[in-house]
Structure 1
């Protein structure tokens, strides 16, 4: 239709133009015919008469004879010969009046020597139209105009001839316009289809991930809102791949892209038709599982997890995929998409820190990553305003019950929330660059406190926990050495506690930092031993001075033979490596007596003291 309108308008314009051209052609033929009559018949009969004075009888007879034949055959319908005053000098019917007024533009034009032809209506004429021609009459001797010949010529024959020509013109014009319309319509249809496809492609690309073809974050939000509006219940699930960075680092980003495509295909294949799998970004995916209750969601996710964890071969390397699933049920855990995503994300991170692959949201039991931004901002100000404090928990030598050292534990004296435990802010610090200035603050304050208690006569070593990010930071060992020199504390009076995971994550960087620290005399302790994944071969290369047995093995040691065997094995291993052994979480005298009998060197726990300022650390005798 859009193509038809301009083509139709063009057709009307061309038809009108053709009709006007035909009319002009008829008028031109009339003027040509009038010029022949005036030249061949009228002018010779007048013999250069002065029309302003009239004509003689002989001239009148000559005119009548010259025009009778044309009038008889109908090639001329009527005629008048007039002078410039408008007086009729001669007419075919003998009348001496009538005709075009002298003031008419056509008459004036003819008086000046220019013929004028007009198509006029005439009911008495064949076809109802005539061509009126006002033709100037020129004197043969002087060539000057001496009068005006007013002729009425039949138009029917001219019209018939023009009609035949117009039929051919109309046919050709119609065919041309039809072809033009078809070409324009074809172009319009093709363009419209291309634009429609382009719009559909743009819409698809705007709502889908280019790598995997899965819906993207925006499409996920739209579909999740639709699922919530339906009020059928269900779950929003966040899926995050474990150790995906290792694939990119070892096999290259192309292998990582291939793995993401495999994950996407397996997600589609293992889910129901009404479910949605989307890629939120990186190695993070999200699922919408409508119409399911909690047990059904977990059953479906077990099937999805089993599908994802099947072995895949990338670049000839077999890989086992692991993923963490965080589940938020709706409406139980939220009634809007943002809240459900936050809760599912919190559950997923809880699973990463624990052993379960699939975790259902169970309340804000730990700081959620989306809250860490606030915590990080406040913690940065806390460092600037010196709101942090150090508490110390004593380490007791089991042989004589004397405090031989203390572990520094940071607390945050928040201006509105009071004393904040490290579990509420350390995870946020470890995920940002704040862990480095925080560790530096703890080291400086602990060494300053050690100087104070040494001057007070307390010969204690101090243990400070350090993060894997500290070990990976260039110049960490040099910074520790500088602090020791600044405070004049002997390196042997400082022990740095690390976790097994810190050693495993980046063995080369960790070993380089640990060896540099050991070379200057700083003690190295492995904290929470037995809860990580360190192989014995890796422990062999670490310059350790202490191994601390995690409280999860120590606390139930009296009632669980398996834990007793594990504790004895760790003690034998530590002594074999030349390390002293400290039991964590000792809360009763019976447990203290058991670990001492098993060969532990030191103990730490609420039996002796909870974390307190160093001035409140008790001096105690052996507890037996």
Structure 2
């Protein structure tokens, strides 16, 4: 959403066009000046060539014959002078010659058309010296003697007689005005033609400049649009989303307004790609972008952040209006559509963070919106507003994730184990592995301090892998001492959704030589409901390898009876919420009794969590519960301590309890306390 800003490109393009036009005009003018100068030089060259030819004719036809046998250094005889006068009078009379002098090599004027013996260029003049040595010199000069304007001055050697030797220098001045006038007429035509040609050239350059500038402007706008928009949907991309979100937050801070940053993630989008193909997935993403844009206001921003994740910037609305608007967008989004002939209902999770209530920095708000969205994916609500008490504080998650990675590498984690006791004979029926973090600065940390951050990233896979390896190693230790207790390990839904997880578990069992039936994986009921199809697929694959799966915290999540019937679950663990005060609470008794009957009817064992008193244990045993787990039997401790308790019992009971440890329980799934 939002219109493309082309103003700056238009101003830049106009300036570029003006600069290009000015530069082109300068070049065209310079080209014109050069061409005019060249034409003028050509015209003068033509005049000089004409003067040289005319002088050659006069010298050869008139002067040379008249001076045959003359010795100019001694002067001319009367006969020679008369012959020369007669040969040149006609040319001078008709004006084809302005002035004529015959000079000796010493510069003496031996003949002139007006009878004078003075004047002419100096002997030292290069032109005279050139003529004296046999070279013709031609120049257009101003005539200073008769004020006839410009003339063509020709200095050339006089060659008389059969010897072919020069006897003097002919200084001849020819009229240039007629030639100049003719050349001017020719030049006028040439100038017009040149002007038209240069004008056409300039117009062409201007058109090229306009077209090029326009193309560059469009290209720049296109490049900017491409840099800030998603190529598939045409929506703003992550960079544009960040910029618009920051602008909205900064504007709200100045105006004292409110707004929201919303993250939207499609549910089960991978199934569309896998089932209908990537072209259908692309069409679905375009449809989602279109529907969200249509549902929101023109001032709001809808951006595609990557994959199937979208971001919304909703400025200027309080909380209730934001939620109403998002609900309207969700209603528009979930309308059924048809892709490749298959009816499809779009589902998505919305995580909402408000500003300035939940933060004033874009990264902080994005983290909190992401945390809310993730909570929505694990629960039943499609729209979740970030709440400090409902979502683990994500502002430190990046730090926790980085530290946890290092903790796994440094082997700072430890496993405590809590026994599950068979109610029919009070014997240990297995151990549940519970992870702790021996932090070098903060001491022993319970799972609630780091599991939420781990489950939001790939760290959970590293963590689960570490717990499985350590639990199987410890199990080999107590097995070698004669105790064949099965071990239960908590895994998150993210583990089950990871392709190949079941094969990884099977590989670890083979690596440690552990029979599959001696490993139980526990998944919370809430996690089972998150992505039911992928989780069910993983559970079926695990069952195929012989590994059992237990539904943990049963009763507080959203597992349906159909899921329990279709998924090969081997054990159901009743949440402690229904077990506390079970011997005195008729409602909890009815619920627990129903769960026991239901689980047994589906072929599952039943374990009750949080058993702390003997009357509760007795009631569970009488009601047919298979096993129990709680402080009545033991708090979580390291396994050698349990082995010592089992081999060397103390006190009045079969299993004495160790020193009290503060109870910790995490209700969001994953590796519990």
What TM-score does the superposition give when structure 2 sets the normalisation length?
0.82
Match of 1:342 among 344, 362, 367: 367
Structure 1 match to 2:324? 299
Report if aligned partners of 1:514, 1:542 keep a CA contact under 8 Å in 2.
no
d(CA) in 1 for partners of 2:245, 2:628: 53
Report if aligned partners of 1:504, 1:533 keep a CA contact under 8 Å in 2.
no
Structure 2 match to 1:10? 31
1:362 partnered with 2:395: no
d(CA) in 2 for partners of 1:291, 1:157: 87
Cα distance, 1:125–1:236 mapped onto 2, change above 3 Å: farther
Report if aligned partners of 2:103, 2:171 keep a CA contact under 8 Å in 1.
yes
d(CA) in 1 for partners of 2:363, 2:32: 60
Match of 1:513 among 542, 550, 556: 542
Structure 1 match to 2:347? 322
Report if aligned partners of 1:75, 1:154 keep a CA contact under 8 Å in 2.
yes
SS of 2:118's equivalent in the other structure is: coil
d(CA) in 2 for partners of 1:364, 1:44: 128
1:196 partnered with 2:221: no
Structural mapping, 1:22-421, within 5 Å: 22-122=43-143, 128-230=149-251, 231=253, 232-363=257-388, 374-398=399-423, 404-421=429-446
Cα distance, 1:559–1:129 mapped onto 2, change above 3 Å: farther
| Cα deviation digits, residues 232-279 of structure 1 (max 9, x gap) | 432221211122112111211111111110011011101111111111
d(CA) in 2 for partners of 1:131, 1:606: 129
Structure 2 match to 1:474? 503
d(CA) in 2 for partners of 1:543, 1:70: 131
d(CA) in 1 for partners of 2:128, 2:534: 111
SS of 1:172's equivalent in the other structure is: helix
SS of 2:122's equivalent in the other structure is: coil
d(CA) in 2 for partners of 1:365, 1:442: 31
d(CA) in 2 for partners of 1:602, 1:227: 56
Report if aligned partners of 1:118, 1:132 keep a CA contact under 8 Å in 2.
yes
Cα distance, 1:188–1:293 mapped onto 2, change above 3 Å: same
Residue 287 (structure 1) shift = 1.2
Cα distance, 1:41–1:355 mapped onto 2, change above 3 Å: same
Residue 213 (structure 1) shift = 0.5
Residue 474 (structure 1) shift = 2.0
Structure 1 match to 2:636? 611
SS of 1:390's equivalent in the other structure is: strand
SS of 2:110's equivalent in the other structure is: strand
Residue 336 (structure 1) shift = 2.5
Report if aligned partners of 1:547, 1:574 keep a CA contact under 8 Å in 2.
yes
Residue 200 (structure 1) shift = 1.1
What TM-score does the superposition give when structure 1 sets the normalisation length?
0.88
Report if aligned partners of 1:515, 1:543 keep a CA contact under 8 Å in 2.
no
Report if aligned partners of 1:127, 1:155 keep a CA contact under 8 Å in 2.
no
d(CA) in 1 for partners of 2:44, 2:511: 109
SS of 2:543's equivalent in the other structure is: helix
Match of 2:472 among 443, 461, 477: 443
SS of 2:436's equivalent in the other structure is: strand
Residue 429 (structure 1) shift = 5.2
d(CA) in 2 for partners of 1:437, 1:533: 29
Residue 532 (structure 1) shift = 5.7
d(CA) in 1 for partners of 2:519, 2:182: 120
d(CA) in 1 for partners of 2:591, 2:88: 143
Of 559-568 and 166-175, more deviation after overlay is shown by 559-568
Residue 419 (structure 1) shift = 1.5
Task: Give RMSD over aligned pairs.
Answer: 3.3
Residue 156 (structure 1) shift = 1.3
SS of 1:215's equivalent in the other structure is: coil
Of 256-265 and 490-499, more deviation after overlay is shown by 490-499
The alignment covers a number of residue pairs equal to 610
Report if aligned partners of 1:401, 1:620 keep a CA contact under 8 Å in 2.
no
Cα distance, 1:495–1:168 mapped onto 2, change above 3 Å: closer
d(CA) in 2 for partners of 1:573, 1:364: 34
d(CA) in 1 for partners of 2:289, 2:475: 50
d(CA) in 2 for partners of 1:343, 1:556: 37
d(CA) in 1 for partners of 2:224, 2:207: 25
Unpaired runs of at least 5, structure 2: 1-20, 656-673
Residue 55 (structure 1) shift = 0.5
Residue 583 (structure 1) shift = 2.2
Report if aligned partners of 1:125, 1:154 keep a CA contact under 8 Å in 2.
no
Report if aligned partners of 2:291, 2:333 keep a CA contact under 8 Å in 1.
yes
d(CA) in 1 for partners of 2:188, 2:517: 115
Residue 473 (structure 1) shift = 3.9
Report if aligned partners of 1:496, 1:525 keep a CA contact under 8 Å in 2.
yes
1:528 partnered with 2:549: no
